[in-house]
Amino acid sequence: MRILVAEDDPVIALALTERLRRLGHEPLGPAADGAEAIALAKQNQADLYLFDVEMPVADGLVVADELTAAGLRRPVVIVTGIEDPALIDRAIASGVAAYLTKPIDDLELDAAIKLASARHAEFEELESQVDEAQQALADRKIVERAKGLLMTALQLSEQDAFRRLQITARERNLKLADVARRIVEQESLLAPTARAG
């Protein structure tokens, strides 16, 4: 796994990158401050971010938020030397997947990386399911609208209008929603027919 490290203390940064190598990962960086972390993230395809909270220019949580806003959301493991409940709350609100307090050992680091990756995968799966549900709802709405237009323009029953949509989709090898969209886009052509009838 390619892991971007951002840590302003050079000794800790070196120790983290060596630990990551021992665990079989490819460390990127380390970045010494928030601006450098953002630049490195934009240049490299990291799989995970390992960020110190307190860094010059921008802290690790701010950097994670900025990268997410830039379309570079990845699992985030935060490392900090501060035990502060408010910081933990802020990390949770920022979507941080794992939180480590210094000093850390290989076992803790390995567990945090695995946990962050698993949580991120779960989150992406949930997002995908939400997107699919929203698309299904949008498709259903467009089919209902097209069905209504056909019922009005051609004096069809609801069942016959739906059947006509299904037959057209099957004959043209299209999705039902695509046929419905075409009908809705051509609504102005159907309106005169409705008035004439």
More confident residue, 23 or 59: 23
Instruction: Write out the two tokens for 149.
Output: 């237009």
At 113 the pLDDT is: 95
Q: Report the CATH number at residue 187.
A: 1.10.10.10
Any domain includes 18: yes
pLDDT at 193: 47
Q: 133-192: per-residue pLDDT in tens?
A: 999 999 999 999 999 999 988 899 999 999 999 999 999 999 999 999 999 998 877 665
pLDDT at 102: 85
Task: Say how far apart CA 170 and CA 174 lie, in whole Å.
Answer: 6
98 and 19 within one domain = yes
pLDDT at 194: 43
User: pLDDT tens digits, residue range 89-124?
Assistant: 788 777 788 888 888 899 999 999 999 999 888 888
> How far apart are alpha carbons 169 and 163 in whole angstroms?
10
> How far apart are alpha carbons 110 and 120 in whole angstroms?
15
User: Are 82 and 142 within one domain?
Assistant: no
pTM for the whole thing? Answer: 0.68
Q: Which amino acid is at 158?
A: E
CA distance 98 to 51: 11
Residue numbers of the domain that contains 164: 129-196
pLDDT at 191: 62
pLDDT at 108 (0 to 100): 92
Total structural domains within the chain:
2
Sheet holding 48-52, edge to edge: 26-31, 2-6, 48-52, 76-80, 98-101
List pLDDT tens digits, range 27-73. Answer: 998 999 999 999 999 999 999 999 998 888 888 889 998 998 999 98
CATH number, residue 93: 3.40.50.2300
d(CA 97, CA 9): 23
Angstrom CA distances, 44 to 31, 50, 70, 84, 89, stand at 12, 14, 14, 32, 29
Contact by Cβ (8 Å): 104, 77: no
Digit-coded pLDDT (tens) for 61-92: 899 989 989 999 899 999 888 777 787 778 87
Copy the structure tokens of residue 191. 């309106």
Cβ-based neighbours of 142, under 8 Å, separated by 6 or more: 177, 180, 181, 184
- Is residue 133 assigned to a domain? yes
pLDDT of residue 197: 43
Question: What pLDDT shows up at residue 56?
Answer: 84
Considering the domain architecture, whether residues 6 and 81 belong to the same structural domain is answered as: yes
The backbone torsions φ and ψ at residue 195, rounded to the nearest 5 degrees and listed phi first, read -70, -35
